[in-house]
Structure 1
């Protein structure tokens, strides 16, 4: 007989299969869907204000918010990217022409070191980096050859990026317009207590907003400060190195120092003492403190996560999910803590849950 329990079990099985199949269909556009959801959560407060100003006209409010998102996020990124491409092209030409010789720069640094330090490097086998540098140059040459022989694949990747970008904008419009209704539908469909569901959804939204806001602000500030320092010192490709420092700043407590510290060492070793010392002070005080002050303030405060957990989850997330991991990692860590908080409250009903704004 088709008992109600059997019917429900079979329906749940079909529901799981269909849900997994739907996720499989969306998997090729994971990045587009992920960033559409993320940007929708980031710009929802702005959308709500615009909708109120437009007297409830959802389509017009969503379109206006989408245009603001393009102006605030996409246009500056496009301008920086165009400058970045130009400077990267110029750097490549200088490398080919021999104007930039990292082997000679490294040798200059070694020659400027005191004898006791070079003896110590000799014992460690670190003073003779000729073979390592040759392998780096060989790898760069092979990489350039690979890029030249796979131009069609690069074009295909560019086309895929444009398709994903258009899909992201398309989804973003509808998520802005119907996001709260969709969120309420999902909350009501989850077979959990209402207060638990409300707490978990609010926690998820808060963590995503805080992580994106905090990491993006820190990246922009550190990249701008680093690029400004390089421009003031007359270092070629200040925008390029600023973008590199901004990207590396996604790694808390490490980040931009991977770029400015070797440059400061080179300046000090080659006789530009004041420039090197100035860059070191600027890197430690301005760039370093901006990370130590802004990241806990913007990320840790809203997510209520300790700094070390933000660091570990960010690095782990980026190692698993690439650039998307700087959001996914801390979000998973925060949801891990949130689910355990719900579990503890289920075991001890007198432990209250803190519900933030919707």
Structure 2
């Protein structure tokens, strides 16, 4: 009854149960763990450089790395977030007061269209401005009621965010300091051949580093350029649109154009030809080039994945996991391709040569 096979089976079952239970316990801090691991992978080269400057002082090097990460990543994001909240409040007030009237903007575009296009809009009842205005007003009212009724929930979410933020910082410190030993332990614990384990772990770290570094750099560049263009052209809420362009730039090829293209169409339709021309030039030849040049260099080159795989995995990841999906999606796709390439390579080795 107490055979070695039974003992091994019970042990493997116990191992599976406690592993699932451990991940279940960590699920409330999934985002904190993900970003702690991602930032640790991104800033480990900096930690190693600091450790060479201060030999043997692991704690000091880790604390210095954490301070630099706070200074160049987290604090700027916090400041942008505070400014964004103020900008959203101002834009919301202007929409309610009528200073920003999307229905009127749409009406101006319709008036500039040829009669054939306007008849198509009228046929599908898309040109009824009173109906659009009613829908927008009703949506704004429902949004205000929702925010008012969920004030306690928003406060609770803020508290949860702060807790997750400090968990991420705490985890980041230890991952930076002890990352090498943890990586070695993982390589020894995974029940795979050592070359396969090292290949998959290297692919995992490379994809996370390339995805975070590349996508964030592209988002910052596109959002900054688009926001400056909107500010120069006098578009209201330039910071809000800049943040939206930065967020949408996580979608390769089409992201930022979802914001600047309608504004350019509005400028052209209302007779502001030089503003529309400037915005189209900036969108196509500056923002577009940033996406077409910077993203393949920082993301596609390191991940060694085709652009269409990066696009589909990013969109699919964000659809399933939210904002965290722009990291998780490409990582899953890269590990999928790496695992199958290892399987094909090992299968070829197992095939005996023909006589």
Give the structure-1-normalised TM-score: 0.95
Q: Supply the distance in 1 between the matched residues of 2:138 and 2:159 (Cα, whole angstroms).
A: 30
8 Å CA contact 2:257–2:283 kept in 1: the answer is yes
CA RMSD of aligned residues (A): 1.5
Q: Supply the distance in 2 between the matched residues of 1:306 and 1:132 (Cα, whole angstroms).
A: 41
SS of the aligned residue for 1:164 comes to helix
Alignment of 1:290-329 (within 5 A): 290-329=290-329
Alignment of 1:37-56 (within 5 A): 37-56=37-56
- Residue in 2 aligned with 1:269? 269
Q: Supply the distance in 2 between the matched residues of 1:225 and 1:124 (Cα, whole angstroms).
A: 37
How many corresponding residue pairs? 351
- Render the CA deviation track for 1:193-226: whole Å, top value 9, x for unaligned: 1111111100110011011111101100110110
- Residue in 2 aligned with 1:96? 96
- Render the CA deviation track for 1:122-142: whole Å, top value 9, x for unaligned: 345433354344223312211
- Residue in 1 aligned with 2:128? 128
Contiguous gaps of at least 5 residues in structure 2: none
SS of the aligned residue for 1:302 comes to helix
2:174 is the alignment partner of 1:174: yes
Q: Supply the distance in 2 between the matched residues of 1:92 and 1:192 (Cα, whole angstroms).
A: 55
- Render the CA deviation track for 1:260-306: whole Å, top value 9, x for unaligned: 11111111111111111211121111111211111111111101100
- Residue in 2 aligned with 1:356? none
Alignment of 1:23-42 (within 5 A): 23-42=23-42
Give the structure-2-normalised TM-score: 0.96
2:200 is the alignment partner of 1:183: no
- Residue in 2 aligned with 1:148? 148
SS of the aligned residue for 2:349 comes to coil
Q: Supply the distance in 2 between the matched residues of 1:105 and 1:154 (Cα, whole angstroms).
A: 33
Alignment of 1:1-358 (within 5 A): 1-128=1-128, 130-349=130-349
With over 3 angstroms needed to count, the CA separation of the structure-2 counterparts of 1:178 and 1:5, relative to structure 1, is: same
Q: Supply the distance in 2 between the matched residues of 1:135 and 1:298 (Cα, whole angstroms).
A: 43
